């Protein structure tokens, strides 16, 4: 009986750990994305973005990966900080959806912004690494 209980407990813990690991990976990917964008580390940001990226800003502007990266490299879009509030993460195999409130500060074409936003990210695991496939923000009042 004790052995059966022990085996059941170990199996349950293993299942829980297997479920938590991808969520932790997404949480880390979000932190890495925010840090790289705020630091202006364009090479790191480019590696995190999927080639088919859909990047929808809270202003309604929608960009491809190359359009967004060009905006970052030119300095037209600069971020000073991105702070996540608690994240909700749901993993579906090699796809994950993250939703959070965020505070995003920076400048667009030299005009400062300090926005409270909702963000939804879709991450896709390709070749063993998570890449951002879609970004959508909505401005909060």
Confidence of residue 14 (pLDDT cuts 50, 70, 90): low
Q: How confident is the model at residue 137 (pLDDT cuts 50, 70, 90)?
A: very high
> Is 13 a domain residue?
no
Domain count, the chain: 1
User: Residue 127 maps to which CATH number?
Assistant: 3.10.450.50
* Residue 11 belongs to a domain: no
Q: Look at residue 107 and tell me if it is in a domain.
A: yes
Residue pair 60/139 in contact (Cβ under 8 Å)? The answer is: no
Q: Is residue 3 part of a domain?
A: no
Does a structural domain hold residue 29?
A: yes
Instruction: Please report where in the chains the tokens 């939703």 appear, as a residue.
Output: 99
Q: Establish if 89 belongs to a structural domain.
A: yes
pLDDT at 20: 57
What CA–CA distances, in Å, run from 37 to 15, 19, 75?
Answer: 34, 28, 12
Residue 26: predicted pLDDT: 98
Least confident interval from 1-5, 52-56, 57-61, 124-128: 1-5
Q: Does any domain span residue 8?
A: no
Q: Which domain holds residue 32?
A: 23-139
Report whether pLDDT(129) > 70: yes
């Amino acid at each position: 009986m004790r052995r059966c209980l022990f085996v059941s407990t170990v199996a349950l813990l293993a299942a829980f750990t297997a479920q938590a690991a991808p969520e932790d990976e997404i949480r880390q990917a979000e932190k890495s994305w925010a840090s790289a964008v705020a630091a202006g580390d364009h090479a790191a940001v480019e590696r995190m973005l999927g080639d088919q990226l859909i990047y929808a800003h809270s202003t309604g502007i929608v960009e491809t990966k190359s359009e967004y990266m060009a905006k970052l490299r030119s300095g037209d879009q600069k971020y000073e900080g991105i702070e996540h509030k608690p994240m909700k993460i749901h993993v579906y195999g090699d796809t994950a959806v993250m939703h959070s409130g965020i505070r995003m500060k920076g400048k667009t074409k030299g005009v400062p912004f300090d926005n409270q936003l909702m963000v939804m990210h879709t991450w896709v695991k390709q070749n063993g690494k998570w890449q951002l496939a879609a970004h959508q923000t909505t401005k909060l009042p």
